Structure 1
Amino acid sequence: MHLKIRHRTEYRYETPVRYSIQELRLTPPSIAGQQIDKWKVSTPIKASNSIDTFGNICSVFVQESPYTSMMIEAEGELHTQDAFEFVDDAKAASPYYLLQQTNLTELTATMLEYFATNLPTRNSIDQVLSLASAIQDTIIYSPGQTNFATTAAQSFAMKSGVCQDHAHVMLSLCRASQIPARYVIGSFFAEESQNLASHAWIDFCSDVDKGIWISIDIAHACLIDSRHIRVAVGRDYYSAAPVKGVRTGGGGEELSANISIQQPS
Protein backbone atom coordinates (compact mmCIF):
# COMPACT_ATOMS: atom_id res chain seq x y z
CA MET A 1 0.00 0.00 0.00
CA HIS A 2 0.97 3.61 -0.58
CA LEU A 3 0.22 5.55 2.62
CA LYS A 4 0.44 9.16 3.71
CA ILE A 5 0.80 9.77 7.45
CA ARG A 6 0.58 12.86 9.60
CA HIS A 7 1.27 12.78 13.34
CA ARG A 8 0.59 15.95 15.35
CA THR A 9 1.22 16.42 19.08
CA GLU A 10 0.37 19.69 20.82
CA TYR A 11 1.01 20.63 24.44
CA ARG A 12 -0.50 23.59 26.30
CA TYR A 13 0.54 24.67 29.79
CA GLU A 14 -1.10 26.69 32.58
CA THR A 15 2.05 28.71 33.23
CA PRO A 16 5.23 29.22 31.17
CA VAL A 17 7.62 26.29 30.87
CA ARG A 18 11.06 27.66 31.72
CA TYR A 19 13.19 24.77 30.45
CA SER A 20 12.52 21.42 28.77
CA ILE A 21 14.19 18.51 27.01
CA GLN A 22 12.14 16.45 24.52
CA GLU A 23 13.07 13.07 23.09
CA LEU A 24 11.26 11.93 19.94
CA ARG A 25 10.91 8.60 18.15
CA LEU A 26 8.69 9.64 15.26
CA THR A 27 10.69 8.55 12.20
CA PRO A 28 9.80 5.13 10.78
CA PRO A 29 12.74 3.15 9.39
CA SER A 30 13.02 1.67 5.90
CA ILE A 31 13.05 -2.04 6.67
CA ALA A 32 11.39 -5.28 5.58
CA GLY A 33 7.76 -4.50 4.79
CA GLN A 34 8.07 -0.72 4.50
CA GLN A 35 9.97 1.74 2.35
CA ILE A 36 10.00 5.40 3.39
CA ASP A 37 9.57 7.69 0.39
CA LYS A 38 9.80 10.97 2.29
CA TRP A 39 9.57 11.98 5.93
CA LYS A 40 9.87 15.17 7.96
CA VAL A 41 9.72 15.93 11.68
CA SER A 42 8.97 19.55 12.60
CA THR A 43 9.96 20.81 16.05
CA PRO A 44 9.93 24.30 17.67
CA ILE A 45 13.71 24.46 17.45
CA LYS A 46 16.30 22.36 15.61
CA ALA A 47 16.71 18.84 16.96
CA SER A 48 19.83 16.66 16.98
CA ASN A 49 19.43 13.12 15.63
CA SER A 50 21.03 9.86 16.71
CA ILE A 51 20.43 6.10 16.71
CA ASP A 52 19.50 4.61 20.08
CA THR A 53 20.26 1.19 21.59
CA PHE A 54 17.45 -0.47 19.65
CA GLY A 55 18.28 1.11 16.30
CA ASN A 56 15.49 3.71 16.48
CA ILE A 57 15.98 7.14 14.95
CA CYS A 58 15.92 9.43 17.98
CA SER A 59 15.62 13.24 17.90
CA VAL A 60 16.34 15.48 20.90
CA PHE A 61 15.80 19.19 21.35
CA VAL A 62 16.18 21.55 24.31
CA GLN A 63 14.12 24.69 24.88
CA GLU A 64 15.59 27.29 27.22
CA SER A 65 13.21 30.17 26.47
CA PRO A 66 9.80 30.29 28.23
CA TYR A 67 6.77 29.00 26.31
CA THR A 68 3.14 28.05 27.05
CA SER A 69 2.46 25.80 24.05
CA MET A 70 4.47 23.43 21.89
CA MET A 71 3.68 21.70 18.60
CA ILE A 72 5.51 18.66 17.20
CA GLU A 73 4.60 17.27 13.77
CA ALA A 74 5.80 14.29 11.78
CA GLU A 75 4.58 13.56 8.28
CA GLY A 76 5.51 11.71 5.15
CA GLU A 77 4.75 8.94 2.70
CA LEU A 78 5.74 5.30 2.51
CA HIS A 79 4.99 2.05 0.73
CA THR A 80 4.17 -1.08 2.71
CA GLN A 81 3.88 -4.77 1.93
CA ASP A 82 3.24 -7.91 3.96
CA ALA A 83 6.23 -8.81 6.14
CA PHE A 84 6.41 -10.11 9.69
CA GLU A 85 10.05 -11.25 10.04
CA PHE A 86 12.87 -8.86 10.90
CA VAL A 87 16.60 -9.44 11.26
CA ASP A 88 18.72 -7.29 13.58
CA ASP A 89 21.96 -5.79 12.38
CA ALA A 90 25.23 -6.58 14.13
CA LYS A 91 25.03 -3.50 16.37
CA ALA A 92 21.61 -4.32 17.84
CA ALA A 93 21.05 -4.86 21.55
CA SER A 94 21.30 -8.51 22.59
CA PRO A 95 17.96 -10.37 22.61
CA TYR A 96 18.86 -11.54 26.13
CA TYR A 97 18.48 -7.93 27.30
CA LEU A 98 14.82 -8.25 26.30
CA LEU A 99 14.21 -11.10 28.74
CA GLN A 100 14.18 -8.55 31.59
CA GLN A 101 10.85 -7.34 32.90
CA THR A 102 10.20 -3.62 33.41
CA ASN A 103 7.89 -1.74 35.77
CA LEU A 104 5.23 -1.80 33.04
CA THR A 105 5.57 -5.51 32.25
CA GLU A 106 6.20 -7.03 35.71
CA LEU A 107 3.91 -10.02 36.10
CA THR A 108 2.14 -11.46 39.13
CA ALA A 109 1.70 -15.03 40.31
CA THR A 110 -2.01 -14.71 39.49
CA MET A 111 -1.23 -13.81 35.87
CA LEU A 112 1.18 -16.71 35.58
CA GLU A 113 -1.37 -19.15 36.97
CA TYR A 114 -4.19 -17.79 34.80
CA PHE A 115 -2.23 -18.22 31.54
CA ALA A 116 -0.37 -21.39 32.59
CA THR A 117 -1.89 -23.57 29.87
CA ASN A 118 -1.21 -20.93 27.19
CA LEU A 119 2.45 -20.25 27.95
CA PRO A 120 4.70 -21.18 25.02
CA THR A 121 7.22 -23.93 25.68
CA ARG A 122 9.34 -22.85 22.70
CA ASN A 123 9.64 -19.74 20.57
CA SER A 124 7.50 -20.93 17.67
CA ILE A 125 4.98 -18.79 15.78
CA ASP A 126 2.09 -21.17 16.50
CA GLN A 127 2.66 -21.23 20.25
CA VAL A 128 3.19 -17.48 20.59
CA LEU A 129 0.11 -16.79 18.44
CA SER A 130 -1.88 -19.08 20.72
CA LEU A 131 -0.82 -16.96 23.70
CA ALA A 132 -1.79 -13.80 21.80
CA SER A 133 -5.29 -15.23 21.24
CA ALA A 134 -5.65 -16.03 24.94
CA ILE A 135 -4.65 -12.46 25.87
CA GLN A 136 -7.01 -11.00 23.26
CA ASP A 137 -9.86 -13.05 24.74
CA THR A 138 -8.99 -12.03 28.30
CA ILE A 139 -8.14 -8.32 28.02
CA ILE A 140 -11.23 -6.79 26.43
CA TYR A 141 -10.50 -3.83 24.16
CA SER A 142 -11.90 -0.86 26.12
CA PRO A 143 -10.56 2.62 25.24
CA GLY A 144 -10.44 5.09 28.13
CA GLN A 145 -9.98 2.51 30.89
CA THR A 146 -6.18 2.69 30.99
CA ASN A 147 -3.38 5.17 30.21
CA PHE A 148 0.32 5.20 29.32
CA ALA A 149 1.32 4.42 32.93
CA THR A 150 -0.99 1.39 33.35
CA THR A 151 1.00 -1.77 34.07
CA ALA A 152 0.41 -5.24 32.67
CA ALA A 153 -0.72 -6.42 36.10
CA GLN A 154 -3.24 -3.58 36.43
CA SER A 155 -4.70 -4.20 32.97
CA PHE A 156 -4.95 -7.92 33.71
CA ALA A 157 -6.71 -7.22 37.02
CA MET A 158 -9.29 -5.07 35.19
CA LYS A 159 -9.48 -7.51 32.25
CA SER A 160 -9.63 -4.47 29.96
CA GLY A 161 -7.32 -2.15 28.07
CA VAL A 162 -6.09 -1.18 24.62
CA CYS A 163 -3.33 -2.36 22.28
CA GLN A 164 -0.63 -0.95 24.59
CA ASP A 165 -1.97 -3.08 27.45
CA HIS A 166 -2.24 -6.17 25.23
CA ALA A 167 1.42 -5.66 24.30
CA HIS A 168 2.58 -5.25 27.91
CA VAL A 169 0.77 -8.39 29.06
CA MET A 170 2.21 -10.28 26.08
CA LEU A 171 5.74 -9.06 26.84
CA SER A 172 5.31 -10.07 30.47
CA LEU A 173 4.30 -13.64 29.62
CA CYS A 174 6.81 -14.13 26.79
CA ARG A 175 9.65 -13.05 29.06
CA ALA A 176 8.34 -15.30 31.84
CA SER A 177 8.56 -18.12 29.26
CA GLN A 178 12.21 -17.19 28.55
CA ILE A 179 11.36 -15.83 25.11
CA PRO A 180 12.98 -12.44 24.37
CA ALA A 181 10.30 -9.95 23.36
CA ARG A 182 10.14 -6.23 22.61
CA TYR A 183 7.48 -3.56 22.36
CA VAL A 184 6.72 -2.11 18.92
CA ILE A 185 5.02 1.25 18.50
CA GLY A 186 3.61 2.43 15.21
CA SER A 187 0.39 2.91 13.28
CA PHE A 188 -2.32 0.72 11.82
CA PHE A 189 -4.20 1.59 8.65
CA ALA A 190 -7.86 0.58 8.63
CA GLU A 191 -10.47 2.91 7.21
CA GLU A 192 -13.14 1.39 9.45
CA SER A 193 -11.04 1.68 12.67
CA GLN A 194 -9.69 5.21 12.95
CA ASN A 195 -9.11 4.77 16.69
CA LEU A 196 -6.36 2.25 15.87
CA ALA A 197 -4.31 4.79 13.89
CA SER A 198 -1.84 4.75 16.78
CA HIS A 199 -1.03 1.13 17.50
CA ALA A 200 1.27 -1.19 19.42
CA TRP A 201 2.31 -4.82 19.08
CA ILE A 202 5.31 -7.01 19.92
CA ASP A 203 8.26 -8.78 18.36
CA PHE A 204 9.45 -12.08 19.81
CA CYS A 205 12.86 -13.53 19.05
CA SER A 206 12.54 -16.80 17.11
CA ASP A 207 16.31 -17.27 16.69
CA VAL A 208 18.58 -15.63 19.25
CA ASP A 209 21.83 -16.49 17.48
CA LYS A 210 20.69 -15.00 14.16
CA GLY A 211 18.75 -12.09 15.66
CA ILE A 212 15.48 -13.02 13.93
CA TRP A 213 12.28 -11.46 15.26
CA ILE A 214 8.64 -12.21 14.45
CA SER A 215 5.99 -9.48 14.78
CA ILE A 216 2.61 -10.33 16.31
CA ASP A 217 -0.36 -7.99 16.73
CA ILE A 218 -2.07 -9.07 19.95
CA ALA A 219 -5.14 -6.86 19.46
CA HIS A 220 -5.89 -8.84 16.28
CA ALA A 221 -4.12 -12.08 17.32
CA CYS A 222 -2.29 -12.25 14.00
CA LEU A 223 1.06 -11.76 12.34
CA ILE A 224 1.50 -8.16 11.19
CA ASP A 225 0.96 -7.26 7.53
CA SER A 226 0.96 -4.30 5.13
CA ARG A 227 -1.51 -2.38 7.33
CA HIS A 228 1.11 -1.99 10.07
CA ILE A 229 3.56 0.93 9.99
CA ARG A 230 6.50 0.33 12.30
CA VAL A 231 8.11 3.35 13.98
CA ALA A 232 10.16 2.28 17.03
CA VAL A 233 10.91 -0.63 19.35
CA GLY A 234 11.91 -0.85 23.00
CA ARG A 235 11.55 -2.74 26.26
CA ASP A 236 8.06 -1.30 26.84
CA TYR A 237 5.93 1.72 25.92
CA TYR A 238 8.09 4.20 27.82
CA SER A 239 11.26 2.90 26.17
CA ALA A 240 9.77 3.37 22.67
CA ALA A 241 7.48 6.36 23.34
CA PRO A 242 7.04 8.68 20.32
CA VAL A 243 7.35 11.81 22.50
CA LYS A 244 8.68 12.07 26.05
CA GLY A 245 10.52 14.68 28.02
CA VAL A 246 11.15 16.56 31.24
CA ARG A 247 10.37 20.19 32.04
CA THR A 248 10.70 22.89 34.65
CA GLY A 249 7.58 24.98 35.21
CA GLY A 250 4.39 24.87 33.18
CA GLY A 251 1.97 23.76 35.89
CA GLY A 252 -0.91 21.70 34.49
CA GLU A 253 -0.54 20.20 31.03
CA GLU A 254 -3.10 19.67 28.27
CA LEU A 255 -2.11 17.23 25.54
CA SER A 256 -3.71 16.84 22.13
CA ALA A 257 -2.44 14.11 19.80
CA ASN A 258 -3.74 13.15 16.38
CA ILE A 259 -2.63 10.70 13.71
CA SER A 260 -4.13 10.55 10.24
CA ILE A 261 -3.37 7.85 7.67
CA GLN A 262 -4.59 8.07 4.10
CA GLN A 263 -4.05 6.43 0.76
CA PRO A 264 -3.12 9.22 -1.68
CA SER A 265 -5.41 9.33 -4.71
Structure 2
Amino acid sequence: MHLKIRHRTEYRYETPVRYSIQELRLTPPSTAGQHVDKWKISTPIKASSSIDSFGNYCSVFVQESPYTSMMIEAEGEVHTHDAFEFVDDAKAVSPYYLLQQTNLTEPTDEMMDYFAYSLPKNNSVEQVLKLAEAVQGLIVYSPGQTNFATTAAQSFAMKSGVCQDHAHIMLALCRASNIPARYVSGYFFAEESPNLASHAWIDFCSDIKKGIWTSVDITHACLIDARHIRLAIGRDYYSAAPVKGVRSGGGGEELSANISIAQLP
Protein backbone atom coordinates (compact mmCIF):
# COMPACT_ATOMS: atom_id res chain seq x y z
CA MET A 1 0.00 0.00 0.00
CA HIS A 2 1.01 3.58 -0.59
CA LEU A 3 -0.10 5.57 2.45
CA LYS A 4 -0.14 9.29 3.23
CA ILE A 5 0.02 10.07 6.95
CA ARG A 6 -0.59 13.34 8.75
CA HIS A 7 -0.14 13.54 12.54
CA ARG A 8 -0.93 16.79 14.34
CA THR A 9 -0.43 17.30 18.10
CA GLU A 10 -1.57 20.53 19.75
CA TYR A 11 -1.10 21.66 23.34
CA ARG A 12 -2.91 24.54 25.07
CA TYR A 13 -2.13 25.81 28.55
CA GLU A 14 -4.00 27.83 31.20
CA THR A 15 -1.02 30.07 31.91
CA PRO A 16 2.24 30.67 29.99
CA VAL A 17 4.79 27.87 29.91
CA ARG A 18 8.13 29.39 30.91
CA TYR A 19 10.44 26.62 29.70
CA SER A 20 10.02 23.22 28.06
CA ILE A 21 11.91 20.36 26.42
CA GLN A 22 10.14 18.17 23.87
CA GLU A 23 11.42 14.81 22.64
CA LEU A 24 9.89 13.39 19.46
CA ARG A 25 9.99 9.92 17.95
CA LEU A 26 7.81 10.80 15.00
CA THR A 27 9.94 9.68 12.05
CA PRO A 28 9.30 6.15 10.76
CA PRO A 29 12.36 4.18 9.64
CA SER A 30 12.73 2.48 6.28
CA THR A 31 12.85 -1.15 7.37
CA ALA A 32 11.34 -4.55 6.60
CA GLY A 33 7.76 -4.02 5.47
CA GLN A 34 7.97 -0.29 4.85
CA HIS A 35 9.82 2.27 2.77
CA VAL A 36 9.57 5.97 3.67
CA ASP A 37 9.25 8.02 0.47
CA LYS A 38 9.18 11.40 2.19
CA TRP A 39 8.67 12.68 5.71
CA LYS A 40 8.63 16.08 7.38
CA ILE A 41 8.27 17.24 10.98
CA SER A 42 7.23 20.82 11.75
CA THR A 43 8.05 22.22 15.20
CA PRO A 44 7.75 25.72 16.73
CA ILE A 45 11.53 26.11 16.69
CA LYS A 46 14.33 24.17 15.03
CA ALA A 47 14.90 20.71 16.50
CA SER A 48 18.15 18.79 16.76
CA SER A 49 18.16 15.21 15.47
CA SER A 50 19.88 12.05 16.66
CA ILE A 51 19.56 8.27 16.82
CA ASP A 52 18.72 6.90 20.27
CA SER A 53 20.00 3.69 21.87
CA PHE A 54 17.19 1.65 20.24
CA GLY A 55 17.97 3.01 16.78
CA ASN A 56 14.95 5.34 16.67
CA TYR A 57 15.05 8.72 14.94
CA CYS A 58 14.79 11.26 17.75
CA SER A 59 14.22 15.03 17.53
CA VAL A 60 14.58 17.40 20.49
CA PHE A 61 13.76 21.07 20.83
CA VAL A 62 13.89 23.48 23.77
CA GLN A 63 11.60 26.50 24.17
CA GLU A 64 12.81 29.22 26.51
CA SER A 65 10.30 31.96 25.57
CA PRO A 66 6.84 31.90 27.21
CA TYR A 67 3.97 30.39 25.21
CA THR A 68 0.39 29.22 25.82
CA SER A 69 -0.04 26.90 22.82
CA MET A 70 2.21 24.65 20.77
CA MET A 71 1.72 22.70 17.55
CA ILE A 72 3.78 19.74 16.30
CA GLU A 73 3.05 18.23 12.90
CA ALA A 74 4.47 15.22 11.10
CA GLU A 75 3.48 14.13 7.63
CA GLY A 76 4.73 12.05 4.77
CA GLU A 77 4.27 9.05 2.53
CA VAL A 78 5.18 5.42 3.16
CA HIS A 79 5.01 2.32 0.97
CA THR A 80 4.15 -0.81 2.96
CA HIS A 81 3.95 -4.54 2.33
CA ASP A 82 3.42 -7.61 4.50
CA ALA A 83 6.39 -8.31 6.78
CA PHE A 84 6.54 -9.35 10.42
CA GLU A 85 10.20 -10.28 11.00
CA PHE A 86 12.92 -7.76 11.86
CA VAL A 87 16.64 -8.38 12.24
CA ASP A 88 18.81 -6.33 14.62
CA ASP A 89 21.88 -4.56 13.36
CA ALA A 90 25.24 -4.86 15.09
CA LYS A 91 24.63 -1.85 17.34
CA ALA A 92 21.22 -2.98 18.65
CA VAL A 93 20.33 -3.20 22.32
CA SER A 94 20.85 -6.76 23.62
CA PRO A 95 17.68 -8.87 23.69
CA TYR A 96 18.56 -9.81 27.27
CA TYR A 97 18.07 -6.17 28.31
CA LEU A 98 14.49 -6.52 27.10
CA LEU A 99 13.78 -9.26 29.64
CA GLN A 100 13.64 -6.59 32.35
CA GLN A 101 10.23 -5.37 33.49
CA THR A 102 9.50 -1.65 33.86
CA ASN A 103 7.10 0.28 36.10
CA LEU A 104 4.54 0.12 33.29
CA THR A 105 4.88 -3.64 32.69
CA GLU A 106 5.52 -5.19 36.13
CA PRO A 107 2.98 -8.05 36.47
CA THR A 108 1.03 -8.91 39.61
CA ASP A 109 0.60 -12.40 41.07
CA GLU A 110 -3.07 -12.25 40.04
CA MET A 111 -2.11 -11.54 36.44
CA MET A 112 0.37 -14.41 36.35
CA ASP A 113 -2.17 -16.80 37.88
CA TYR A 114 -4.89 -15.81 35.42
CA PHE A 115 -2.69 -16.34 32.35
CA ALA A 116 -0.83 -19.39 33.72
CA TYR A 117 -2.29 -21.76 31.12
CA SER A 118 -1.65 -19.34 28.24
CA LEU A 119 1.98 -18.48 29.01
CA PRO A 120 4.36 -19.51 26.21
CA LYS A 121 6.47 -22.59 26.88
CA ASN A 122 8.92 -21.35 24.24
CA ASN A 123 9.38 -18.39 21.89
CA SER A 124 7.54 -19.90 18.92
CA VAL A 125 5.07 -17.78 16.94
CA GLU A 126 2.29 -20.26 17.68
CA GLN A 127 2.80 -20.03 21.47
CA VAL A 128 3.05 -16.22 21.54
CA LEU A 129 -0.04 -15.79 19.33
CA LYS A 130 -1.95 -18.04 21.73
CA LEU A 131 -1.03 -15.64 24.54
CA ALA A 132 -2.02 -12.62 22.42
CA GLU A 133 -5.46 -14.17 21.90
CA ALA A 134 -5.84 -14.67 25.66
CA VAL A 135 -4.91 -11.04 26.38
CA GLN A 136 -7.21 -9.72 23.66
CA GLY A 137 -10.04 -11.92 24.95
CA LEU A 138 -9.79 -10.56 28.49
CA ILE A 139 -8.95 -6.87 28.04
CA VAL A 140 -11.93 -5.18 26.38
CA TYR A 141 -10.90 -2.46 23.93
CA SER A 142 -12.35 0.63 25.62
CA PRO A 143 -10.95 4.09 24.73
CA GLY A 144 -10.98 6.68 27.49
CA GLN A 145 -10.65 4.26 30.41
CA THR A 146 -6.84 4.44 30.61
CA ASN A 147 -4.05 6.90 29.79
CA PHE A 148 -0.32 6.94 29.04
CA ALA A 149 0.55 6.35 32.71
CA THR A 150 -1.74 3.32 33.21
CA THR A 151 0.24 0.22 34.14
CA ALA A 152 -0.28 -3.32 32.91
CA ALA A 153 -1.44 -4.28 36.40
CA GLN A 154 -4.06 -1.50 36.47
CA SER A 155 -5.40 -2.36 33.02
CA PHE A 156 -5.58 -6.04 34.00
CA ALA A 157 -7.52 -5.14 37.16
CA MET A 158 -10.02 -3.09 35.11
CA LYS A 159 -10.21 -5.73 32.34
CA SER A 160 -10.23 -2.84 29.85
CA GLY A 161 -7.82 -0.63 27.94
CA VAL A 162 -6.50 0.25 24.51
CA CYS A 163 -3.68 -1.03 22.27
CA GLN A 164 -1.04 0.49 24.58
CA ASP A 165 -2.44 -1.49 27.53
CA HIS A 166 -2.65 -4.68 25.46
CA ALA A 167 1.03 -4.18 24.60
CA HIS A 168 2.12 -3.56 28.21
CA ILE A 169 0.32 -6.68 29.49
CA MET A 170 1.81 -8.72 26.66
CA LEU A 171 5.31 -7.39 27.44
CA ALA A 172 4.84 -8.29 31.11
CA LEU A 173 3.83 -11.87 30.33
CA CYS A 174 6.47 -12.48 27.64
CA ARG A 175 9.25 -11.19 29.87
CA ALA A 176 7.96 -13.26 32.81
CA SER A 177 8.14 -16.27 30.46
CA ASN A 178 11.82 -15.47 29.74
CA ILE A 179 11.08 -14.18 26.24
CA PRO A 180 12.66 -10.80 25.38
CA ALA A 181 10.00 -8.38 24.17
CA ARG A 182 9.86 -4.71 23.21
CA TYR A 183 7.16 -2.08 22.72
CA VAL A 184 6.42 -0.76 19.22
CA SER A 185 4.67 2.55 18.58
CA GLY A 186 3.24 3.27 15.17
CA TYR A 187 0.22 3.75 12.96
CA PHE A 188 -2.50 1.40 11.74
CA PHE A 189 -4.43 1.92 8.53
CA ALA A 190 -8.02 0.67 8.49
CA GLU A 191 -10.77 2.85 7.04
CA GLU A 192 -13.31 1.19 9.35
CA SER A 193 -11.20 1.83 12.50
CA PRO A 194 -9.99 5.47 12.45
CA ASN A 195 -9.59 5.44 16.26
CA LEU A 196 -6.76 2.92 15.80
CA ALA A 197 -4.72 5.24 13.56
CA SER A 198 -2.32 5.71 16.48
CA HIS A 199 -1.38 2.16 17.41
CA ALA A 200 0.95 0.02 19.51
CA TRP A 201 2.05 -3.61 19.46
CA ILE A 202 5.07 -5.69 20.46
CA ASP A 203 8.09 -7.47 19.02
CA PHE A 204 9.23 -10.67 20.71
CA CYS A 205 12.67 -12.17 20.12
CA SER A 206 12.16 -15.39 18.17
CA ASP A 207 15.92 -16.03 17.78
CA ILE A 208 18.18 -14.43 20.39
CA LYS A 209 21.48 -15.49 18.79
CA LYS A 210 20.54 -14.06 15.38
CA GLY A 211 18.68 -11.04 16.78
CA ILE A 212 15.44 -11.88 14.96
CA TRP A 213 12.23 -10.30 16.24
CA THR A 214 8.64 -11.16 15.30
CA SER A 215 5.93 -8.49 15.47
CA VAL A 216 2.54 -9.28 17.03
CA ASP A 217 -0.49 -6.98 17.14
CA ILE A 218 -2.28 -7.94 20.38
CA THR A 219 -5.37 -5.80 19.70
CA HIS A 220 -6.04 -7.90 16.58
CA ALA A 221 -4.28 -11.07 17.86
CA CYS A 222 -2.30 -11.42 14.63
CA LEU A 223 1.12 -10.91 13.11
CA ILE A 224 1.54 -7.41 11.71
CA ASP A 225 1.04 -6.77 7.99
CA ALA A 226 0.94 -3.98 5.40
CA ARG A 227 -1.59 -2.02 7.50
CA HIS A 228 1.05 -1.34 10.18
CA ILE A 229 3.61 1.48 10.05
CA ARG A 230 6.41 1.37 12.64
CA LEU A 231 7.58 4.56 14.32
CA ALA A 232 9.77 3.56 17.26
CA ILE A 233 10.67 0.73 19.64
CA GLY A 234 11.53 0.73 23.34
CA ARG A 235 11.10 -0.97 26.70
CA ASP A 236 7.56 0.39 27.07
CA TYR A 237 5.37 3.28 25.96
CA TYR A 238 7.48 5.88 27.71
CA SER A 239 10.73 5.04 25.93
CA ALA A 240 9.03 4.86 22.50
CA ALA A 241 6.45 7.67 22.89
CA PRO A 242 5.92 9.71 19.68
CA VAL A 243 5.81 12.94 21.71
CA LYS A 244 6.89 13.54 25.30
CA GLY A 245 8.33 16.43 27.26
CA VAL A 246 8.82 18.30 30.49
CA ARG A 247 7.82 21.88 31.23
CA SER A 248 7.92 24.62 33.83
CA GLY A 249 4.69 26.60 34.25
CA GLY A 250 1.59 26.37 32.12
CA GLY A 251 -0.92 25.20 34.75
CA GLY A 252 -3.59 22.93 33.29
CA GLU A 253 -2.91 21.32 29.93
CA GLU A 254 -5.29 20.52 27.08
CA LEU A 255 -3.97 18.09 24.48
CA SER A 256 -5.53 17.29 21.13
CA ALA A 257 -4.06 14.84 18.65
CA ASN A 258 -5.33 14.15 15.16
CA ILE A 259 -4.03 11.47 12.82
CA SER A 260 -5.24 10.88 9.30
CA ILE A 261 -4.09 8.05 7.02
CA ALA A 262 -5.16 7.88 3.40
CA GLN A 263 -4.38 5.29 0.75
CA LEU A 264 -2.92 6.76 -2.43
CA PRO A 265 -3.30 5.22 -5.88
TM-score normalized by the length of structure 2: 0.99
Question: Offset at 1:173?
Answer: 0.1
Aligned to 2:106: 106
Aligned to 2:4: 4
Aligned to 2:188: 188
Correspondence 1:149 to 2:145: no
Given residue 260 of structure 2, which amino acid in structure 1 is its aligned partner?
S
Correspondence 1:78 to 2:69: no
| 1:56-115 deviation digits (Å, cap 9, x = unpaired) | 000000001111100000000010000000001000100111000000000001110100
Aligned to 1:209: 209
| Matches of 1:17 and 1:150, distance apart in 2 | 26
Given residue 91 of structure 2, which amino acid in structure 1 is its aligned partner?
K
Given residue 18 of structure 2, which amino acid in structure 1 is its aligned partner?
R
Aligned residue pairs, count = 265
| Matches of 1:144 and 1:250, distance apart in 2 | 24
Question: Offset at 1:258?
Answer: 0.7
Aligned-residue RMSD, C-alpha:
0.5
Given residue 214 of structure 1, which amino acid in structure 2 is its aligned partner?
T
| Matches of 2:235 and 2:171, distance apart in 1 | 9
| Matches of 1:64 and 1:6, distance apart in 2 | 27
Aligned to 1:123: 123
| 1:210-260 deviation digits (Å, cap 9, x = unpaired) | 110000000000000000000000000011000001111111110010100
Given residue 141 of structure 1, which amino acid in structure 2 is its aligned partner?
Y
Given residue 153 of structure 1, which amino acid in structure 2 is its aligned partner?
A
Runs of 4+ in 1 over 2 A off after TM superposition: none
| Matches of 2:106 and 2:74, distance apart in 1 | 32
Identity %: 83
TM-score normalized by the length of structure 1: 0.99
Name the SS for the 1:22 alignment partner: strand
In structure 2, runs of 5+ residues without a counterpart are: none
Q: Pairwise mapping of residues 34-113 of structure 1 onto structure 2 (< 5 A)?
A: 34-113=34-113
Name the SS for the 2:78 alignment partner: strand
| 1:121-166 deviation digits (Å, cap 9, x = unpaired) | 1100000000000000010111111111110000001111110000
Aligned to 1:29: 29
Aligned to 1:158: 158
| Matches of 1:20 and 1:143, distance apart in 2 | 29
Given residue 37 of structure 1, which amino acid in structure 2 is its aligned partner?
D
Question: Offset at 1:264?
Answer: 2.2
Given residue 234 of structure 2, which amino acid in structure 1 is its aligned partner?
G
Name the SS for the 1:26 alignment partner: coil
Name the SS for the 2:157 alignment partner: helix
In structure 1, runs of 5+ residues without a counterpart are: none
Q: Pairwise mapping of residues 124-139 of structure 1 onto structure 2 (< 5 A)?
A: 124-139=124-139
